[in-house]
Amino acid sequence: MKIVLSSAAIKKAVKVLTGKIRNGTKCTKGGTMKRYLFLSAIVCMVFGIALIGCGQEKAASSNEAIDVAKAMETAKEKADYLIGQAKAFYNSKEFQQAVDVAQYVLRYVDKDSSQAKDLLEKAKNSLAEAAKAGVEGAKKSLGAIGQQ
């Protein structure tokens, strides 16, 4: 869902909410605190929607993310994009993809990136935990088969 607001509409809404205009006339000072609280809530909501709408889509794979980054001009753009992709992979429990992207950042884009180092460590730990859980599950399955 994409919401587009014109600057004129936003300015008019701010004036109405801050009490400068009410139905085409200037307002008195009554209810100022309520208007400011309401205005604060609206501003937070608009910025929240803008941030969600501006978020980048997760690439289908680490290779796709790396290919997109290669077309970017600066190392900072590449690093920011790839770290965002690594976070997206991590959050969707695609730990190997997150590891691959973070390693690429550290090898070819920014060897000192603390964000990439942190993500790499977190993703590797999660990958190890997932593997350990898989081994435990396999042991239980084999144990159940042996008891039959």
Indicate the SS3 state at residue 3: coil
Distance of CA 79 to the CA centre of its chain: 15
CA distance 108 to 16: 52
pTM above 0.85, yes or no: no
State whether the Cα torsion 35-41-47-52 is positive or negative: negative
Tens digits of per-residue pLDDT, 23-75? 555 555 556 666 666 767 676 565 554 444 455 799 999 999 999 999 999 99
State whether the Cα torsion 83-89-92-94 is positive or negative: negative
Nearest CA-CA partner of 71 in 82, 85, 86: 82
Buried b (16+ CB within 10 A) or exposed e, 71-92: eeeeeeebbbbbbbbbbbbbee
Tens digits of per-residue pLDDT, 84-121? 999 999 999 999 999 999 999 999 999 999 999 999 99
